[in-house]
Amino acid sequence: MAKYTIGIDFGTLSGRAVLVDIKNGNELFSSVYTYPHSVMDRKLPSGRELPPEYALQHPRDYIEVITNTVPELLKGSKVDAGDIIGIGIDFTACTVLPVMKEGTPLCMVEGFEEEPHAYVKLWKHHAAQKYADIINSRAEERKESWLRNYGGKISSEWYFPKLMEIYCEAKEIYDSFDLFVEAADWVVWQLTGKLSRNYCTAGYKAIWSKEDGFPGVDYLESLAPGFSSSLEKLEGELMPLGGRAGMLSREMADRLGLSAETAVAVANVDAHVTMPALGIAEAGKMLAIMGTSTCHILMGKEKKTVPGMCGVVEEGVMPGFYGYEAGQSCVGDHFDWVVKNCVPPEYYDEAKKLDMGIHEYLRSTVEKQRPGESGLIALDWWNGNRSVLVDVDLSGLILGMTLRTRPEEIYRALIEATAFGTRKIIETFEENGVPVKEFYASGGISQKDPMTMQIYADVIRRPVKIAGSTHGPALGSAIFGAVAAGKEKGGYSNIFEAAKAMGKVKDVVYIPKEENSRIYDKLYNEYSALHDFFGRGGNDVMKRLKKIRDEGERK
């Protein structure tokens, strides 16, 4: 009898669920639910204005994803609920929220609806940068050993900078909640009725390791008197990926139409969970999950220090390996910015005539242009730099514009900039003893945009292989759901078995074109010069401009 699992991927703007046959990874049905509150970066639902660099969400949206998509999977597939043996979920990270002891989000407690610090702080909430700076400088002064695990610097996107932001700016709010929890773990808590914390987010985002645990009391006190109390907000059993967090609670089973015997996998991160969805289960294969941002995941047999990486965590991706993470904070968001701000109405009119979306139309007008033809080069920092500079106060740059520059050329220049950023990450890994033998891509861009993938292949001088699923993270979560169910329920005994059976890549491979690569080598040299000049202290004009902007907004 066939057995199935459900994978749910919580992205930046929506949640996607897939129902998967565990025998072969075939996806029977999928469902997408857009978050009603989207990303709150300007106002709360009440209309209260938010400061610069805020990016919040409402946790109610996450529950609505589950209660809308799962019944739709059952209805659309006509699969018997009793044959669904497991659920896995993944999330953006570090996306974190303050909750009460029993799990109620603070923003849903009466009296806190108007308080920004009571809401989910999305991964791209960058208002905590000054606290990340303090955390980094204190760690460097004290020679904290954990700093090496993160390439010498942690990001404002992570757990402790966001928690310290609340502690220092709204102590009364900090004192009002009991726990600070990754949204991934909070969703699993809602599914099972039991709080657990996963190795992945704890290791990559909350400065935890199997050897040393979380940062020590003395260090946390050096950041701010009394801040060691933050350790009390980390309650919850730490569990390895592939483990079973629990079974679906009776209440949630009834709401979803599933069996209370359905196993729920330990939570995971969207990028990391995608590796088995492509059948990747060995060292040296880099996977770029390309969406609004890009996360680069790589496994190695040895632990190395790589400057500017997001972290190296033992068993942070799969058992027996060190998992490495790097990333770019803005990729698809670059392209979206162009179409929203740089494209005149006649382009939309022409796209409509040709029955094309505006992104597709822009690509069609510039895809035959040879590298360098526009005379443009850009830095891909519209949302700061995550790797390898780890500095959200950097901003974007386009150089070479003239009165002849067209919107489609700006669009292509930003695509090329993101490819150059990926090459910078690859080279940094290899220069520090972590080889990148093969390159894979997943996410919507990899599935829908051949021009971009060819540019990436030409820039990084490596073939680019593409995920076999359009819902890579959701399929990966379903694979972990099959492992959580275990052999006794018809699932798998380990992630390697499951990945081999359920993971897949497309037959299409983008091969570098030497003529293009030679030109891109020259452009990359210029990118690198700009990267180091503006990103390594040659000229801090980007930071000075932000400071002037912020001073003006405060007035």
pLDDT digits (tens, 9 = 90+) for 405-463: 999 999 999 999 999 999 999 999 999 999 999 999 998 899 999 999 999 999 999 99
| pLDDT per residue as tens digits for the range 13-39 | 999 999 999 999 999 999 999 999 999
Mean of per-residue pLDDT scores for the chain: 96
- Predicted confidence at residue 115, as pLDDT, reads 98
Examine the pLDDT at 66 and tell me if it is beyond 90: yes
Q: Which domains does the chain have, with CATH numbers?
A: 330-432+441-466+517-554 (3.30.420.40)
Contact criterion met (CB below 8 Å) for 202 and 263:
no
pLDDT of residue 310: 87
Q: What is the pLDDT of residue 551?
A: 81
- Whether residue 187 has pLDDT greater than 80: yes
Cα distance between residue 366 and residue 353, in whole Å: 18
Strand partners, 441: 288, 466
Structure tokens at 54: 């805020």
Residue 554 has pLDDT above 90, yes or no: no
Arithmetic mean of pLDDT, 93-113: 97
**3-state class of 85 per DSSP?**
strand
pLDDT at 378 over 90: yes
How do residues 518-530 score in pLDDT, each as one tens digit?
Answer: 999 999 999 999 9
Residue 83 pLDDT greater than 90, yes or no:
yes
Is the pLDDT reported for residue 536 higher than 90? yes
**Percent over 90 (pLDDT), the chain:** 93
- Token couple for 299: 């496994």
Q: What is the pLDDT of residue 123?
A: 94
Say yes or no to pLDDT of 552 above 80. Answer: no
pLDDT exceeds 80 at position 227: yes
Banded model confidence at residue 229, pLDDT cuts 50, 70, 90: very high
Q: Are strands 96-99 and 179-182 parallel, antiparallel or unpaired?
A: antiparallel
Q: Is the pLDDT of residue 101 over 70?
A: yes
Q: What pLDDT sits at residue 553?
A: 66
pLDDT-derived band of residue 392, with 50, 70 and 90 as boundaries? confident
Pick the closest to residue 65 from 113, 21, 30, 14 (CA basis): 14
- Tell me the pLDDT band of 178, cut-offs 50, 70 and 90: very high
Specify the DSSP class assigned to residue 443: S
